[in-house]
Amino acid sequence: MERIYIGMGSNLADPAEQLRSAVDALGQLPDSALVGVSAFYQSDSLLPGQPRYTNAVAALDSTLAPLELLDALQAIENGQGRERLERWGPRTLDLDILLFGDRLIDEPRLKVPHYHMQERAFVLYPLAELAPEDLHLADGRTLADLLKACPFVGLERLAHA
């Protein structure tokens, strides 16, 4: 089994409920065990004019292969009404593989560690609730290093999942 961290986000159709439903679905994945879920956080959208996002991170132990897991996550997104109309557009649910054990994955459909995660407070702070601060990324930086470089700005911590 490998420890996998999944970023979750929603800004449409009752975002907190979308995340709760996603957590339930993650707990039902085959050959996997849901280990933990961070608190929910609200943040502004990356693009102006969109509703605020609700974000969280889930920790999963799984023997699924990376692309099998990606397919399962996309099936969960689709089941919750996800439409892929525009990059960074509003969405009912976004599930991203942030980290997959200590693997570096560079496939056309999947890049791990997730691109830009080191710059996104709405990813790093929920991740820090579940992952050890001495967690090392492939480039040698620790989660603690990333947190120091990415201030807790524009985030609002909500109730736990």
- Which of 6-15, 48-57, 87-96, 145-154 is predicted least confidently? 87-96
The CATH number covering residue 47 comes to 3.30.70.560
pLDDT of residue 161: 54
- Which of 21-35, 83-97, 124-138 is predicted least confidently? 83-97
| Model pLDDT for residues 15-42, shown as the tens digit of each residue | 999 999 999 999 999 999 999 999 999 9
94 annotated active-site: yes
| Model pLDDT for residues 51-68, shown as the tens digit of each residue | 999 999 999 999 999 999
pLDDT of residue 47: 83
71 annotated active-site: no
Among 91, 102, 109, 157, which one carries the catalytic annotation?
Answer: 91
Helix residue ranges, H only, the chain: 15-26, 66-79, 121-130, 143-149
Q: Containing domain of residue 75, as a range?
A: 2-160
* CA nearest neighbour of 96 among 68, 119, 115: 115
**Number of domains comprising the chain:** 1
